[in-house]
A and B are shown apart, each in its own frame.
Chain A
Amino acid sequence: MINLSVEDIKELVAKEKENEAELKKAQDEASHIIEEARKEAKAILSDVQVPSYFKTLHEQEIKRVEEKKSTWEMECNRALENLKSKAGENVQKTVDYVIKLIFGA
């Protein structure tokens, strides 16, 4: 059995304190690493970007449909004009038919 002196005990306690400080430092460093990772994760999530190909595809599709719609509307306007014009040509024939029906001829 070896008896430690007061000085020995003090030396060991000092060593233990030194250890505790080292551990605290390590914990702070670990927390810092985690905190940095969280910041990086936030940046990753806020920077989610759809590949430009899809955006371009979407824009192209909108443009294509707009063009198709515009062509379609032009055709429709032509159809309306044609209807108006033909009805103008046919109006006398229609009036004659209505008059014929009214007088039962």
Chain B
Amino acid sequence: MIRFNYHPSPFERFLDDTPAVALFERLRVPLAIIAAALLGVAGTWSVETQRMAQLEAQRATLQVRLHATAAGDDRAQRLLADVTRLRAVRERIAAGRRDVIVATNTIASIGNDLPPQTWLTALGSTPAGDWTIGGRSTRVGEIGTMLRRVQSLDRGATARLISIAATGRAGRILDFVIGWERRP
């Protein structure tokens, strides 16, 4: 049985209507376009592959140099860590010695700058740097002077009166306690 295609596709009609030579003639340009596209892709691939090969070669060279410098780097890192630690130790020792000077200067300043008719009976300090100053005076006004002088020793600190209490015969002597707090 012979079957007839009464509704051929546009492509079939194109093939039916075009002779073989004319077909080649007509296909030459489109094939060239496709070939150019393929060539372009292949060229790109080639260039990228070349670049990749160059980078791999550079990477291999750098790896060799990295390996060569590894031993020196370890040694330098150890030295640097040692020096850093020793510097820190030296600084801590220097800070300790400075603390002694600061503490003795503070004690000397408090003791050397007493107002008239006033004397110290006790000094105490906490590790946080807060001080308690106990003393006696015969004049209440001088206790105020003492408070002001303690405050002037360190602008960053706060001096406050904790207590005043009369003591001694006939209550003529005044015991006082001043707190001196150093802010961090």
Q: Do A and B bind each other?
A: no
Binding site for B on A (CB under 8 A): none
